[in-house]
Amino acid sequence: MKYKLRILFCNILSFDGEVVIITGGSRGIGFETAKAFSENGANVIITSKNSKQLKNAAAKLSKTIAITADIRKEQEVQNVIKKTIEKFGKLDILINNAGIFPRIKKLHKISESEWNDVLDVNLNGAFRFTKFAIPYLQKTSGSIINVSSDAGLKAYEDFNADAYSASKAALVVLTKCWSLEYAKDKIRVNCICPGVVETDMTKPFLKTKKDRDFMNNDHPLGRFGQPEEIAKSILFLASKDSSWTTGAILAIDGGQSTK
């Protein structure tokens, strides 16, 4: 009797020929995500309003184009989409990653301009990019991944960054809304919620050994995260390995949000 030998291969993430826009791609999670996509064959467009920082980031990556844009300005957002389509003729994946963190203040001490600035970048910026990307993602049955935060999943005592928490919580709900709105177009919309990750944004909170020890101990797994760990989760949600996943909210926070 003859037997056929079946060999099972683990899937290797491949984005050959796919076109990805990553907002806030010049540093931190955005940069590591751009690096991961480019290493797996994608054509990557990174955006930031800091042109010098953006060009330096793109120079370190393969298959990556830098387009300077202020996410708060509709025309500049439209320009990123326009240049992407002119260059590649399509768009497959949008990563809404750009965000800012405010100065720590209690609610009654926050100025209206401070509140609006955080929401304009973290929430309205994602709205703008998604709005103008949708017509092209409809053509490719594309994917959107919103980068929220575990601060969008629950309240933390003495966190005192209400505008940030509000913007990130809104992204969680919008992910679910958009996943339903565009399911008929086969556009998948998912969301990740990182905990404390070692980036330029979190440097002020990780200055001393005491700060770092506190942050490590605050996570059940005993440490804060690294940008490349977040990037790997983003790649999975954008890949064909998660082809039946939409509207998912994934906490990547060392167990912090479970406390």
Which residues does the annotation mark as catalytic?
Answer: 164
Backbone φ and ψ of 68, nearest 5°: -70, 130
Tokens describing residue 141? 């049955």
CB atoms within 10 A of CB 107: 9
194 SS3 class:
strand
Strands (E), the chain: 19-23, 43-48, 64-68, 93-96, 143-147, 188-194, 249-252
d(CA 91, CA 84) in angstroms, rounded, equals 7
Q: Which residue has the tokens 């590591």?
A: 32
96 close to 133: Cβ distance less than 8 angstroms: no
- Residues 53 and 27 sit within 8 Å (Cβ to Cβ): yes
From CA 196, how far away is CA 222, in angstroms rounded? 12
Look at residues 160, 37, 171 and name the one whose alpha carbon lies nearest to residue 98. 171
